[in-house]
Structure formats: C-alpha cells, structure tokens
A = this chain, B = another copy of it.
C-alpha cells in the first residue's frame, strides 16, 4: 500500500509527481495512443488538407455516446474492484480484531494450573517446569503439554535430542527466535521501569493464554504466506516447535492446519478441565470467525471478476482510444494528440488501476500491507501476554508498505 508521509501534501505536487502513482503499467499504452494520434494527425495534414471532410472522417458524435458508455462501464468496474480491495482490508481488519479478542478470551476463560499468573513484575518463576511436575501424574498428553510445552515435548520424543529439539532449527535467525525463551516466562530483558509497566498487564494472563497467543501469531503469518504464495517455513519455525511445524507443513492448506491444531489444543484444555463446556464453545467461535475470514480472503484471491467482463472493458477502452483520433482530427488539427492523451489517461489509467487492485493480496504497490498487519498483530499479542520480545512496527520502504 502506498503511504504518503503527510496526508495533506501540496495539491500541485500531487498532480505533477510521477513517482508513486502506481499507474506505471498504463503509461506505455497511454503513450502509444498519443503517438498513434500524432501519426493520424500528420497523415491527415499531408493527404487530406484541402479535401472536404464529410464522408471520409468520423465526427465526434458517436464518440460522445461511446465515451459515456465506457465511463459508466469503467465506473462499475472501479466500484467492483474497489469493493474487492476494501473487502479484503475488512477481512484482515477482522483478523486483527479476532486475534486480540481470542487472546483476551484465552486469558479470561482458563482456570486452574493453565491460568497460573506470573506473580508480579520482574522475575517470574518458571511456571512451565513447575506445572509439568505437578501435572505429570494426571494425564500424559494433556494439560502438562499446554503448560510447559517444550519440556513435555522432550518427553514425547525421547529418541530425539532432548535438549536442543526446540531451539536448534531456529538458532539461525537470532533476534526472531522468541519461543523457547518466552514459553511461560515473561521477557527477562534488563527490566527497567518501562518494561515492568509493560509486562504488568501481560504478566497477569496465564501460560495457556500466552501459548495460544503465540499460536495465533503463527497462524496469521502462515495465512499471509498462504495468500501470497510464499514459504511459511521460517515464520512457523520461529514460533512453533519442530514437530508441530512439520505437521502443519505436511498439509496442503497450512493455515487451516494451524487452526485445527489450535482447536485440538483447546480440546485438551477442556478435557483436562482447564476450560469449561460453555467457554469452549465461545473460544471455538473465534476459531470459526478466523475460518470465515480465511475463506473470504481465499474467495477474493481465487475468483477474479468474470473474465469476459474484463476483456470487454479492455477492448472497448482500446478501440475507443485508438479510434478517437479519427473523430477529432477533422476539427482539432494538431490539438488532437493532446486531447487523445488526456482522454486516454483517464480511461486507460482507470482500467489499469482496476487491474491492480482486483487482487488485493499480492505485492503490487497498491496491494494491502499484509506484512504490516501481521506485525501489528504480533506486537499486540506479545504485549498483551508478555510473550517474548516485541518487534518494532513495520516501516514503509520507498513509500510502500508491504
């Protein structure tokens, strides 16, 4: 998405600045139309200078009708593509909302060990280890894993490298690898007063909420990769442990797999009594909302406007812009190319803009800033649950926010 440093930049500069208008695709076509008009005008001057115009050249009248018809069609297409773009933004807005709400719900609706609060501001006891000890006898596959996943994890894979499993694959991207350090433990940065204040709220949510918040972050990242066709491996590994990452990557629809895992995790919490019957329904509703959001985005991505409509509009605009010189040259002479340029700019520019925002999840300059939205979610959720180092907000590069 193109971001301008100041919203109210001088009007004239907006009119004349070339860069950042993201209509680059349209310029060759506009210039072609202008050149063609120049050619037609030159031909007319050479060969028909003294000839009576009637019968040989078009008048402008049919172009009036066609021009307005095309305006109406283009306006409809602009509306429809803008609606797609805006609906995409709305869906991601809902994703932001549901991420925040789901985190709060997890913090509110777990009880017992899973909800053990870290006491106070600075040093927090390693809840996970303690809980693991308390719970081991109860159920091998249940709450213990929730409370202290890395440890329980080691139990489940004794054949593996018990200590390094979680950390090893992600050791490469230092600075991004936040999970092992913050699983159940608020950040141990040199705790200044600001940090203490920051972690005061997050410190009150339970370890289960912290874990689910991180899963949620993993989900939105994997969903972004799903929409943009990029590789989710790095982001998943940074947050989830190796086994879960592998299970998710094995499925064809990774974000749905993430949601399924979150659901099964909630089920474990429910079975072990840390979430009650009614609250499970409420928490699941948030997962359903995420599923709906994801389906909506996939719909926009996979179903463009009917192709015939796009072709029809393209063709009409094309023929109009290249036939226009014949209608104008008889009256305007050398001003014909200028007029054609202006009209082409309007029609071809709007047409190109429609093409650009029709699929709002790509990496075109005007596409939605999915990465920035994911980052926002990650910042919010980590702050709310005191779950590891909070990354900085994404900054636009060359006035474009990715």
For the complex of A and B, 6 pairs with smallest distance between CB atoms: A197-B250, A97-B295, A65-B67, A93-B299, A2-B307, A55-B333
Whether, in the assembled complex, A353 has its beta carbon less than 8 Å from a beta carbon of chain B, the answer is yes
Q: Mark A64-103, 1 if CB is under 8 A from B, else 0.
A: 1111111111111011101001000110011011001100
> If the complex has contacts A61-B64, A277-B278, A281-B278, are A104 and B204 also in contact, measured as CB distance less than 8 A?
no
In contact, B266 and A21 (Cβ under 8 angstroms) = no
Whether, in the assembled complex, A309 has its beta carbon less than 8 Å from a beta carbon of chain B, the answer is yes
Q: Report the minimal beta-carbon distance from A312 to chain B, rounded to whole angstroms.
A: 5
Whether, in the assembled complex, A267 has its beta carbon less than 8 Å from a beta carbon of chain B, the answer is yes
In contact, A342 and B319 (Cβ under 8 angstroms) = yes
Whether, in the assembled complex, A215 has its beta carbon less than 8 Å from a beta carbon of chain B, the answer is no
**Number of residues of chain A lying within 8 A (CB) of chain B:** 143
> If the complex has contacts A63-B65, A366-B307, are A350 and B22 also in contact, measured as CB distance less than 8 A?
no
Return the chain B residue nearest A306 by Cβ: B366
A388 to B108, CA, bound (A): 29
| Residue of A271, A311, A314, A357 ringed by the most chain B CB atoms within 10 A | A311
In contact, B282 and A108 (Cβ under 8 angstroms) = no
Q: Report the minimal beta-carbon distance from A137 to chain B, rounded to whole angstroms.
A: 20
Whether, in the assembled complex, A188 has its beta carbon less than 8 Å from a beta carbon of chain B, the answer is no
In contact, B261 and A201 (Cβ under 8 angstroms) = yes
A143 to B192, CA, bound (A): 31
In contact, B108 and A280 (Cβ under 8 angstroms) = yes
Whether, in the assembled complex, A356 has its beta carbon less than 8 Å from a beta carbon of chain B, the answer is yes
Whether, in the assembled complex, A11 has its beta carbon less than 8 Å from a beta carbon of chain B, the answer is yes
Which listed residue, B1, B61, B249, B343, touches A197 by the CB 8 Å rule? B249
Which listed residue, B15, B68, B285, touches A65 by the CB 8 Å rule? B68
In contact, A247 and B280 (Cβ under 8 angstroms) = no
Q: Which of these binds chain B: A126-134, A162-170, A220-228, A252-260?
A: A252-260
Whether, in the assembled complex, A380 has its beta carbon less than 8 Å from a beta carbon of chain B, the answer is yes
